Amino acid sequence: MNIAVVTFPGSNCDDDTVRALHALGASVIRLWYRDRDLGGIDGVILPGGFSYGDYLRGGALAAQAPVMEPLRHAVRERALPVLGICNGFQILTEAKLLPGALRPNRQGTFLSTWQHLRVTRASSLFWGLREGEYLRLPIAHGEGAYYLPPGQLASLFDRGQAWLQYVSFDGQLTAAANPNGSVANLAGVIAGSVAALMPHPERAMDAALGSADGVRLLTAWLEGIRRRSRDASS
């Protein structure tokens, strides 16, 4: 299984993401933002960072990078699994591969802290990650407040696209548990084969460093790809 990690000018979590994937036994292909040939890949991760220095707004310029054209085509034509992490989430909304937008944090400041999360809806993209399961992952962003117009929010939940929410340490969905002002405490969404989250699973790979829940999440994503490939070949 070959997973591509895309590097944009300003990416700073790409190496961490590659190391996390290697630790889980995945083969990794490094893609540069100018690449137009995705090759024989089974999935793509758009990592965190500050692509293009977050000029205009987070992800806006990266969404127009050359690599995004074949990525859009692969999602449309063969439902290529794509995972966006933090800045990758911003890029995917700017590219219209995910609904909504990421706005500046309500505090107007950069946030770097650990957060508790709840899986709002199970998805075959994350095999074995159950609805109602809890995760502890770090966040590090300045534009992480997910927004969707009120008229579209209900349908997001109805379609099962509301995937991950910020909760309190005891699992309660409260305003106080919302770190950045995201609508409905949303930390991650899904649309088709594309998923994204603001927290950083690649920074939660060892319990001794705060949490190993990133292992659970990335393993579930990789297993989803394995099962998809197996079903396609059977």
- Residues carrying an active site annotation: 86, 200, 202
Task: Pick left, alpha or beta for residue 7 (phi over 0 → left; psi -120 to 50 → alpha; otherwise beta).
Answer: beta
| C-alpha distances in Å from residue 173, one per residue of 142, 157, 185, 200, 217 | 22, 15, 7, 20, 20
Q: Alpha-carbon torsion 65, 70, 72, 75, what sign? A: negative
| C-alpha distances in Å from residue 94, one per residue of 7, 64, 100, 214 | 17, 9, 9, 25
CA 156 and chain centroid, separation: 17
Q: Which residues pair with 188 in a beta bridge?
A: 164, 197
